[in-house]
Amino acid sequence: DGGITQSPKYLFRKEGQNVTLSCEQNLNHDAMYWYRQDPGQGLRLIYYSQIVNDFQKGDIAEGYSVSREKKESFPLTVTSAQKNPTAFYLCATGGGNGGYTFGSGTRLTVV
Amino acid sequence: GQQLNQSPQSMFIQEGEDVSMNCTSSSIFNTWLWYKQDPGEGPVLLIALYKAGELTSNGRLTAQFGITRKDSFLNISASIPSDVGIYFCAGLRGGTASKLTFGTGTRLQVTL
């Protein structure tokens, strides 16, 4: 059945290392989004893509990069330029009714 | 970016009590949505509202789209322990490139 899959569930990064978070969907949705959530906080938009081969910066894009080569996939790379990357990362797809479907998240920790 | 104002920020209630929370904005939205996030998981859509004044229920949950289109309310009746989590409101203005604007969240804890 259709859904959105994020992997891995937990990820550990060393200082100065780039890491990539995976987000795959089979809902046939055009729009995909990446959010960051810090403990006890709301959702902050990192990047979004309304269509394949196009993406836009969100509110906190510095230190992150994305690609959208396929409709099904929207990976997020957390680069060494992101000074405080420890957080819970959520990927979402946008449906026609305006609601988003979220993945189960990736918890990234710097060690 | 803008975030919608949710209140209360957190609440502790006893099992069986009713819960109310609200979400306000300085600007108009054409769609209001309510999500629930369990610990360590992604938010799940609870209720969607598409028309000003609309009142919609989903089991013990009831939500309303404010008549001014600048607010929305969520009520949970007869709370149970599994209601624990963070509740987010979200608004959508409309248009092909429109994105959801999320609220700051209400953390609900239910005691036995």
pLDDT tens digit string along A24-78?
A: 999 999 999 999 999 878 899 999 999 999 999 999 999 999 999 999 999 999 9
- Of the candidates A106, A94, A107, A80, the one whose C-alpha atom is nearest the C-alpha of residue A15 is A80
C-alpha to C-alpha distance for A48 and A63, rounded to whole angstroms: 15
- Of the candidates B40, B42, B31, the one whose C-alpha atom is nearest the C-alpha of residue B90 is B31
Q: How far is B9 from chain A (nearest CA, A)?
A: 10
Facing residue for B33 by CB, picked from A33, A59, A99: A99
Facing residue for A102 by CB, picked from B40, B43, B104: B43
A37 contacts A104 by C-beta, under 8 angstroms: no
Write the burial class of residue B26 (CB in 10 Å: 0-12 exposed, 13-18 middle, 19+ buried): exposed
* pLDDT digit string (tens) for chain B, length 112 residues: 677 999 999 999 999 999 999 999 999 999 999 999 999 999 999 999 999 999 999 999 999 999 999 999 999 999 999 999 999 999 998 765 678 899 999 999 988 7
Q: Which of B102, B104, B107, B108 to mutate to test the interface with A (most CBs of A within 10 A)?
A: B102
Judged by a CB distance cut-off of 8 A, whether residue A107 touches chain B is yes
